[in-house]
Amino acid sequence: MANSLKPTATGLLCWCAGAGVLVQLLLLRWTDRDGFTPIFRFLLGFHDAHGNLLLLVIAVCAWLLRRQPAALAVVRFAAQRPWVIAMVLFPLLCAGSILCYHAYPLAMDEYAAVFQAQAFAAGRIGGAFPPDLLDRLIPPYFQNGFLAVSRVTGEVAANNWPGFSLLLAPFAWLGIPWALNPALGALTIPALHRLTKQATGSQEAAGWAVALTIASPVFVLSSVSFYSMQASLLLHVLYSILLLQPTVRRALLAGVIGSLALTLHQPMAHLLLFLPFAIWIALRPGSIRILAALLIGYLPLSLLLGVGWYMHLVELMQAASAAASAPAGQAPLDAILARIGNVLRLPAAHIIEARIAGLSKVWTWSVPGLLVLAAWGYAASRGNPSLRILGAALAVTYFGYFPFHVEQGHGWGYRYLHSAWFILPLLASVALSASEERERSGSGLRPMVAWAIVATLLAANAQRLVQAEAFISRHLSQVPPLARAPEPGRREIVFINPAAGSYLLDMVQNEPFLRAPRIVMLLQDPGSIAEFVQQRFPGYVRTAQGGWGELWSAPRDH
């Protein structure tokens, strides 16, 4: 390793200070960046700016404690007891999902996945709404965007591939959809421990990778949300375990796991990670049988959940076209191709800046200096083919989204990199467990990072959980009835005025068959609400109203 890359505590502090200041200046710039969505600007300029400052303080405090080795016990425990950590982590993440995330699918990506899971849990492939109420139950802006609808039959399905919703369906059937991501997060810990030990040959490195992972807020927040990224991360860890030591049998199983990752939500996250692995395997001697087994493993679920689901969505949109809901002269397939064309293009300046902003999110949502440690680890492991291929997968995943003409909007951390994020703590573990560092006297890097892990686990995660809870609470409080549970034994209808607040269209969320005690509708014409309710829901009375809309409740014995 070049002298300039030798990892030391003081060197890491300098990197954290320099990068932290640069990130803070960029975050201030992005607060008013034209071309970014309002929610993306808000999270960068407020949540991430505060998180970045805290990480800088943590880095300084950890450097001051670099002569105190006590925190290294945390890493030793992580190296020896990954399953114990997973068992302790699961109930804590469940508590976070309920108390901090309010067990509420905040973004439309999250709601669409839960909606579809509830339909699967009922033994159906879609929800069923009265066709004449579709525009009230699903804002037209979201129709055939997040949710595909048939205006003829009223059938509704999530307009993403359904793998994540299938994983979510058993939890939805049990009434605990909020428990899936905590389970996936907990299972990631022993899986990453095994992958790191397999790739590096070091149990100590596995401990560092686990400790860096559980301390990083992006891992914790993703584990208490309803986003599909945590499933993608776990599946890609398992996929890497199998393909880094490929045999025909392991490749076949990797294909099955890869096909589920491919059809979780949208295919790009897995395709980008698949590409370096496929090239690496193809260049190995005797690779034909392994590649054939890999592709055979992909076929069943890819055909069923990928091609089959796509055709189902096209059929729904054809029905919508037949009812004259699609733009004149534009067939559903043409509309899909047009949407792909609008998204996939040469990156404009603001998209390049959005990708840089995504990289800043990787910095502000991790243990201080994780990116620097990963770079040091990669430089130290150039002779290790497993780490080279993982590094390539990380790079391809990051740069592969540059042609996509969208930024992520809402999300905890950088959503477009999360499917390969696990590679960062894995590479960082190499820098922290290398024999050169262990033998270096007086460096203090390992105790410094251990203290940073402890402080980030406690302080930075607390900050991010408080941020998420406050954000969701403020969001729900815009429509007061939605900030509380429905009154027991009494059905109600909430009409939302979308002009009364921020992202209120996202709050029009309903159970696929309208069986929940609360129905949420779009307030279209305030003057006709009473007449509409009298016709469709006789006996309901208005019990609250305001600028946000109206609440109508059924009689208590209804």
68-96, pLDDT tens digit by residue? 999 999 999 999 999 999 999 999 999 99
Tell me what the mean pLDDT of segment 262-287 comes to: 94
What does pLDDT average to over the chain? Answer: 91
Q: Please enumerate in sequence order all residues whose Cβ is within 8 A of that of 397, keeping only pairs 6 or more positions apart, or say none.
A: 269, 272, 273, 416, 417, 419, 420
Gap between the Cα atoms of 112 and 136, Å rounded: 16
pLDDT in tens, 426-463: 999 999 987 445 545 467 999 999 999 999 999 999 99
- Residue 227's SS3 state is coil
Query: Angle at CA 111, nearest 5°, toward 142 and 92?
Result: 155
Neighbours of 194 (CB within 10 A): 15
Mean pLDDT of 188-212: 97
Task: Give Cα 554 to chain centroid, integer Å.
Answer: 38
- 322 pLDDT higher than 70: no
In this predicted structure, the answer to whether residue 104 has a pLDDT above a threshold of 70 is yes
For residues 30 and 41, is the Cβ–Cβ distance under 8 A? yes
Which of 527, 528, 541, 529 lies closest to 495, judged by CA?
Answer: 529
d(CA 259, CA 303): 9
Q: Is 435 exposed, middle or buried (0-12, 13-18, 19+ CB in 10 A)?
A: exposed
pLDDT over threshold 60, residue 337: no
Radius of gyration of the chain (CA): 25
Dihedral sign computed on CA atoms, order 282, 240, 207, 419:
positive
Is residue 517 within a helix (H) or strand (E), and if so which, with residue range? none
Model confidence band, residue 350 (pLDDT cutoffs 50, 70, 90): confident
Q: What is the pLDDT of residues 527-546, one digit of tens each?
A: 889 999 999 999 999 999 99
Q: How confident is the model at residue 2 (pLDDT cuts 50, 70, 90)?
A: very low
pLDDT value at position 349? Answer: 84
Contact status, residue 259 vs residue 301, Cβ threshold 8 Å: yes
SS3 call for 543: strand
Cβ(278)–Cβ(270) below 8 Å: no
Burial 370-380 (b: 16+ CB within 10 A, else e): bbbbbbbbbbb
531-538 contact pairs (CB < 8 A, 24+): 533/493, 536/133, 537/493
Tens of pLDDT along 492-514? 999 999 999 999 999 999 999 99
Measuring CA to CA, which residue among 262, 218, 154, 211 is closest to residue 454?
211
Q: Are 305 and 264 in contact (CB under 8 A)?
A: no
Q: Are 549 and 494 a contacting pair, CB within 8 Å?
A: yes
pLDDT tens digit sequence for 111-142: 999 999 999 999 999 999 999 999 999 999 99
The rounded distance, in Å, linking the Cα atoms of 434 and 448 is 16
Residue 234 region, left (φ>0) first, then alpha (ψ -120 to 50), else beta?
alpha
Tell me the one-letter amino acid at 431: A
User: What is the mean predicted confidence (pLDDT) over 22-51?
Assistant: 92
CB count within 10 Å of CB 32 equals 9
pLDDT of 327 over the 50 cut: no
Q: Are 131 and 151 in contact (CB under 8 A)?
A: yes
Percent of the residues in the chain that have a pLDDT greater than 70, as a whole number: 92
Average pLDDT over residues 411-430: 96
Q: Match 């375990």 to its residue by tokens.
A: 241
- Distance between CA atoms of 373 and 150, rounded to whole angstroms? 51
Q: Give the pLDDT confidence of 458-489 residue by residue, as tens digits.
A: 999 999 999 999 999 999 999 999 999 998 88
Mean pLDDT within 18-26: 96
Beta strand 518-522 pairing with 541-546: unpaired
Token couple for 107: 């973004």
What is the C-alpha separation between 42 and 48, in angstroms, rounded?
A: 9
Q: What are the extents of the domains in the chain?
A: 3-99+178-303+341-474, 480-553
Greater model confidence, 558 or 552: 552
pLDDT of 442 reads 61
What is the per-residue pLDDT for 338? Answer: 53
What is the b/e burial string over 391-428, where b = at least 16 CB atoms within 10 angstroms of the residue's CB? bbbbebbbebbeebbebbebbbbbbbbbbbbbbbbbbb
Decide if 434 contacts 383 (C-beta within 8 A).
no
Of 544, 547, 502, 503, the closest CA to residue 523 belongs to 547
Residues comprising the chain, all counted: 558
Q: Which amino acid is at 216?
A: S
Q: Residue 328: what pLDDT?
A: 39
Alpha carbon 220 to its chain's center: 11
Torsion of CA 460, 464, 465, 468, to 10 degrees: 180
β-pairing, 492-496 vs 549-553, is antiparallel
Whole-angstrom Cα distance, residue 347 to residue 345? 6
- pLDDT above 80: residue 191: yes
Whole-prediction pTM: 0.93
Whether residue 557 has pLDDT greater than 70: no
Query: Which region among 21-35, 54-68, 106-120 has the lowest average model confidence (pLDDT)?
Result: 21-35
